[in-house]
Chain A
């Protein structure tokens, strides 16, 4: 699988929010799997670390959870995005894009451009 990267806490939270945003209510295992898939297994989450993040997001009111039955008839806690979670995702996304754009510009810059 090659070298795996540690996932920063804030980044993981953002990934969780985005995943639920796209796919609708999901249980913990499904979230972990999706994140693995989307990041091409590059970021293999130590899956257990997901649960403290979920708890924190729920305490912040960004997500809410309920017990429900999954497609293969297993009981699991399903997480869904709340209104304030959607708002949080929007701001986080904007921030992230901004940061990424700035960093990208730094990498593109060549010595002659600055002359």
Chain B
């Protein structure tokens, strides 16, 4: 306790600058007086008494130091002194300071932003109690995330790893608020979904197992906090109110807590309903379809069960199911994956991408450290005289080192602070950005304490790192040497120095990033120039589900026909067509293909799986898909006509080995279908996919209520969009329109990975380029300055310009060459990593190599031009006079 009291006293002494100097002086005076009296009594002369008294007391300086040590906090005082001195030194070279701070701001900021995203999306578990034990159950292939309900029941009952396992499915639901149908996204969930998440409701209660006991049993719903707030104005009496969900009355039993946005990080539902009401909500019963793998499983691992043990357990369950139900489950595999990013479907690429970018950002920071280290080392070499004097008058090396490191940390702290502010703004921007797509995609990447802690520790670390680089110099400084020789006449070492290696590493990092950016850029360029198998420009997509407005299977075809006619009548609309879904949208359906004439329709005899689309006759004209052989569908291909199909080139080649297949027949669910046409290939799931098979059926023969209305326009979309909305409302005002946007806009999500990668690489590449330029510039300027005298003599002796340049900048050029070569090879080697994110990221692209080499040469020229001019402008007479 007394120690605490003392510390407090010391702090007040420090802050109040109360010095005990006066008191000590009085004490010493009185002490000496006593001693002198005594000495005189003992028979000494006055002078001798005075001298002896002083000797006995000891050095006044050391007493004062001991006294101050007791009085204040010498460490802190020295530290404050160091900081004051550092600020003064840094103010003396404002350009250097500004460049250093800016460099660090950008480099630390890049790391903090990437870490912010990484921590929000990957590192943090879902925001539910003990969220780190929440896992998704999915198939072994990364994108095999869907499971069927009957399989879910078996997995739930047979596994021994999960304390609870729930199933949920994303569904579009038309919520009736005050008589108006508003389309929202919801989750259909099993009754144990909320209990296993262990969250507390904002209002009322959450769904219980009893709500999900039987089909269409209890028509209850839970609203999300945002839905309650925005759509119901935070109505405190919402619990117990009846709302309509797809025209069925549902009772609101509760509101979910504010921070809970479902178990998927990107797809935020507004309403939760029991999954047993699936027939009512979706108009389609699938709970008993073992082959219908359309839902996602999420569960809580038992305490102490590792994911590895759960995987082994699930292997056993999957093997059992495959034996028991060989038809749909023959190839069933199961494993656990972190919940929140569609299992591994999105989780694996997001993790890979973010880790890659994090790594690159780390490299940039390292380059910044190398750069600043070299800069500070160069400066401390110029301060050799100052350091020499300080050593000569008795300063310890440790003390000088501490001063240099303090300077570095002051710079780093300023950079870190600026970086924290910058990343806060950027991350907030990201959080509020909504990507225009058909899904409720949202990021939540608000910076938390961990992010700021990272900014702080990175600043400290970089400060220490580049502050330590000049340390070796201080350690080797010989005060005699430093004072005797003026800095300019010191001899440069022949071999490569530590500083040279730093520069080469930095150039290599820069070149690696530049190369990667070019590869990504070329990939993106290819993406936009590639043939998609359709022409999205000038097409508007309107998604809707007439079932949500109460139309049944008997009436949906006629209302769709009415809507089509109404939209086609709009001036500026060239043509319109229906499709159940469009290529490259998130909603893709697959079906199995069997060989013609086969009697065996088991899972083992499936030839391949194909995308399928149900389209109206005008679809291919509107979408701009070219016909290779045969004919398009006509209005005559309706429910009464024989079943027909159009296939794409890949389908045709794969099944028949030729595209000359018009008139051939394909088996389908016990019936035959005639192939009437072959169309060009396209992209269906992702831009990066290999050519995939697709089959098209007439929507009149395969009715669907959940559809997309494609409209090809002659006029700008902005003029026609409101007219389309009006036309639809004119047919039926209660029809909820989910999305109404241009086709290119709706492809934003597909090109998002490519664009994100290109932007991230571009930003980091630009940063690294700036760093490389300032690094080369710094080193070149420094070398030229150091050798100015030598150059002067050479010029006086008749050296040519080229010789002058070789003497001064030769080493920098060699470093640039070595660094660039290393970076180029690394960049090309890393391109296959990039290929999984960016479509068409090819290493063997001469344009990429040419562009990268040109950029590096430009960087070299740009950064060495000024120092070179200075070297060439040397005037021997002037120079020698100066010395």
Interface residues in chain A, defined as those with a beta carbon under 8 Å from any beta carbon in chain B: 27-30, 32, 46-49, 51-53, 55-56, 59-61, 70, 72, 74-77, 84
Q: A59-B9, A60-B2 are in contact. Are A52 and B31 (CB under 8 A)?
A: no
CB–CB B66/A76 < 8 A: no
Within 8 A of A (CB), among B45-83: 56-60, 62-63, 66-67, 69-71
In the complex, B26 has a CB within 8 A of chain A: yes
Instruction: State which of A52, A56, A59, A74 has its C-beta within 8 Å of the C-beta of B30.
Output: A74
The 4 closest A-B pairs by CB, nearest first: A48-B58, A48-B63, A29-B34, A52-B66
Q: A48-B58, A48-B59, A56-B70 are in contact. Are A28 and B30 (CB under 8 A)?
A: yes
CB–CB B63/A51 < 8 A: yes
Chain A residues lying within 8 Å of B2, measured Cβ to Cβ, are 60-61, 84
Q: A55-B71, A60-B5, A61-B2 are in contact. Are A29 and B63 (CB under 8 A)?
A: no
Chain A residues lying within 8 Å of B70, measured Cβ to Cβ, are 52-53, 55-56, 59
Chain B residues lying within 8 Å of A77, measured Cβ to Cβ, are 23, 26-27, 30
In the complex, B37 has a CB within 8 A of chain A: yes
Instruction: State which of B24, B34, B63, B71 has its C-beta within 8 Å of the C-beta of A49.
Output: B63
Closest chain B residue, CB of each to CB of A52: B66
Instruction: State which of A47, A53, A55, A61 has its C-beta within 8 Å of the C-beta of B31.
Output: A47
Chain B residues lying within 8 Å of A53, measured Cβ to Cβ, are 70
Closest chain B residue, CB of each to CB of A30: B34
* Interface-centre pick from A49, A51, A56, A74 (highest chain B CB count, 10 A): A51
Nearest CB on B from A66, distance (A): 12
Chain A residues lying within 8 Å of B33, measured Cβ to Cβ, are 74
Given contacts A49-B66, A52-B63, A74-B34, 17 further A-B contacts (CB under 8 A): A29-B34, A29-B35, A32-B31, A46-B57, A47-B31, A48-B28, A48-B59, A48-B66, A51-B28, A52-B70, A55-B71, A56-B70, A59-B9, A60-B5, A72-B37, A74-B30, A75-B30
Chain B residues lying within 8 Å of A74, measured Cβ to Cβ, are 30, 33-34, 37
Nearest CB on B from A76, distance (A): 5
Closest chain A residue, CB of each to CB of B20: A55
Closest chain A residue, CB of each to CB of B66: A52
11 contacts between A and B (CB under 8 A): A28-B30, A48-B28, A48-B60, A49-B58, A52-B63, A52-B67, A52-B70, A53-B70, A60-B2, A74-B33, A84-B2
Chain A residues lying within 8 Å of B88, measured Cβ to Cβ, are none
Closest chain B residue, CB of each to CB of A60: B2
In the complex, B6 has a CB within 8 A of chain A: yes
Question: How far does the alpha carbon of A60 sit from the alpha carbon of B10 in the complex, in Å?
Answer: 11
Q: Kindly supply a per-residue 1/0 record for chain B positions 13-41, scoring 1 wherever the CB is within 8 Å of any chain A CB and 0 otherwise.
A: 00000001001101110110111010000
Question: How far does the alpha carbon of A48 sit from the alpha carbon of B30 in the complex, in Å?
Answer: 12
Chain A residues lying within 8 Å of B57, measured Cβ to Cβ, are 46-48
Question: How far does the alpha carbon of A32 sit from the alpha carbon of B2 in the complex, in Å?
Answer: 25
Question: How far does the alpha carbon of A55 sit from the alpha carbon of B10 in the complex, in Å?
Answer: 12
Q: Number of contacting residues on B, CB 8 A?
A: 29
CB–CB A47/B6 < 8 A: no
Closest chain A residue, CB of each to CB of B13: A59
Chain A residues lying within 8 Å of B59, measured Cβ to Cβ, are 48
Chain B residues lying within 8 Å of A61, measured Cβ to Cβ, are 2, 5
Closest chain A residue, CB of each to CB of B35: A29
Question: How far does the alpha carbon of A55 sit from the alpha carbon of B71 in the complex, in Å?
Answer: 8
Nearest CB on A from B752, distance (A): 65
CB–CB B66/A27 < 8 A: no
Question: How far does the alpha carbon of A60 sit from the alpha carbon of B70 in the complex, in Å?
Answer: 11
Nearest CB on A from B42, distance (A): 13
Nearest CB on A from B74, distance (A): 12
Nearest CB on B from A20, distance (A): 16
Question: How far does the alpha carbon of A76 sit from the alpha carbon of B34 in the complex, in Å?
Answer: 10
Nearest CB on A from B36, distance (A): 10
Instruction: State which of B6, B35, B62 has its C-beta within 8 Å of the C-beta of A60.
Output: B6
Question: How far does the alpha carbon of A61 sit from the alpha carbon of B31 in the complex, in Å?
Answer: 23
Chain A residues lying within 8 Å of B71, measured Cβ to Cβ, are 55
Nearest CB on A from B62, distance (A): 7
Question: How far does the alpha carbon of A38 sit from the alpha carbon of B439 in the complex, in Å?
Answer: 91
Question: How far does the alpha carbon of A29 sit from the alpha carbon of B2 in the complex, in Å?
Answer: 26
Closest chain A residue, CB of each to CB of B63: A48
Chain B residues lying within 8 Å of A51, measured Cβ to Cβ, are 24, 27-28, 63, 66-67
Chain B residues lying within 8 Å of A60, measured Cβ to Cβ, are 2, 5-6
Nearest CB on B from A57, distance (A): 10
Q: A47-B58, A59-B6, A60-B5 are in contact. Are A52 and B69 (CB under 8 A)?
A: yes
Nearest CB on A from B628, distance (A): 95
Nearest CB on B from A78, distance (A): 11
Question: How far does the alpha carbon of A30 sit from the alpha carbon of B66 in the complex, in Å?
Answer: 20
Question: How far does the alpha carbon of A74 sit from the alpha carbon of B461 in the complex, in Å?
Answer: 58
Nearest CB on A from B32, distance (A): 9
Nearest CB on B from A30, distance (A): 8
CB–CB A29/B31 < 8 A: yes
Chain B residues lying within 8 Å of A72, measured Cβ to Cβ, are 37
* Interface-centre pick from B20, B34, B56, B60 (highest chain A CB count, 10 A): B34
Chain A residues lying within 8 Å of B10, measured Cβ to Cβ, are 59
Question: How far does the alpha carbon of A77 sit from the alpha carbon of B29 in the complex, in Å?
Answer: 11
Nearest CB on B from A87, distance (A): 11
Chain B residues lying within 8 Å of A32, measured Cβ to Cβ, are 31
Question: How far does the alpha carbon of A56 sit from the alpha carbon of B23 in the complex, in Å?
Answer: 14
CB–CB A76/B5 < 8 A: no
Question: How far does the alpha carbon of A84 sit from the alpha carbon of B6 in the complex, in Å?
Answer: 14
Nearest CB on B from A5, distance (A): 16
Closest chain B residue, CB of each to CB of A57: B70
Closest chain B residue, CB of each to CB of A9: B66
Closest chain B residue, CB of each to CB of A55: B70
Question: How far does the alpha carbon of A84 sit from the alpha carbon of B5 in the complex, in Å?
Answer: 14
CB–CB B58/A46 < 8 A: yes
Chain B residues lying within 8 Å of A49, measured Cβ to Cβ, are 58, 63, 66
CB–CB A48/B20 < 8 A: no
Question: How far does the alpha carbon of A74 sit from the alpha carbon of B62 in the complex, in Å?
Answer: 26
* Interface-centre pick from A46, A55, A84 (highest chain B CB count, 10 A): A55
Q: A55-B20, A55-B67 are in contact. Are A28 and B5 (CB under 8 A)?
A: no
Question: How far does the alpha carbon of A49 sit from the alpha carbon of B70 in the complex, in Å?
Answer: 11
Closest chain B residue, CB of each to CB of A77: B27
Nearest CB on B from A67, distance (A): 8
Chain B residues lying within 8 Å of A48, measured Cβ to Cβ, are 28, 57-60, 62-63, 66
Question: How far does the alpha carbon of A76 sit from the alpha carbon of B70 in the complex, in Å?
Answer: 21
Chain B residues lying within 8 Å of A30, measured Cβ to Cβ, are 34
Nearest CB on A from B37, distance (A): 7
Nearest CB on B from A36, distance (A): 10
* Interface-centre pick from A46, A47, A49 (highest chain B CB count, 10 A): A47
Nearest CB on B from A80, distance (A): 16
Chain B residues lying within 8 Å of A47, measured Cβ to Cβ, are 31, 35, 56-58
* Interface-centre pick from B56, B59, B62 (highest chain A CB count, 10 A): B56
Chain A residues lying within 8 Å of B37, measured Cβ to Cβ, are 72, 74
Question: How far does the alpha carbon of A77 sit from the alpha carbon of B26 in the complex, in Å?
Answer: 9
Chain A residues lying within 8 Å of B28, measured Cβ to Cβ, are 48, 51
* Interface-centre pick from B5, B20, B33 (highest chain A CB count, 10 A): B33
Chain A residues lying within 8 Å of B63, measured Cβ to Cβ, are 48-49, 51-52
Chain A residues lying within 8 Å of B67, measured Cβ to Cβ, are 51-52, 55
Question: How far does the alpha carbon of A52 sit from the alpha carbon of B66 in the complex, in Å?
Answer: 6
Question: How far does the alpha carbon of A94 sit from the alpha carbon of B67 in the complex, in Å?
Answer: 29
Nearest CB on B from A1, distance (A): 12
Question: How far does the alpha carbon of A33 sit from the alpha carbon of B55 in the complex, in Å?
Answer: 15
Nearest CB on B from A113, distance (A): 41
Q: A49-B66, A55-B71 are in contact. Are A29 and B30 (CB under 8 A)?
A: yes
Chain A residues lying within 8 Å of B5, measured Cβ to Cβ, are 59-61
Closest chain B residue, CB of each to CB of A44: B56
Chain B residues lying within 8 Å of A84, measured Cβ to Cβ, are 2
Chain B residues lying within 8 Å of A70, measured Cβ to Cβ, are 34
Closest chain A residue, CB of each to CB of B60: A48
Chain A residues lying within 8 Å of B24, measured Cβ to Cβ, are 51
Chain B residues lying within 8 Å of A75, measured Cβ to Cβ, are 30
Nearest CB on A from B164, distance (A): 60
Closest chain A residue, CB of each to CB of B37: A72
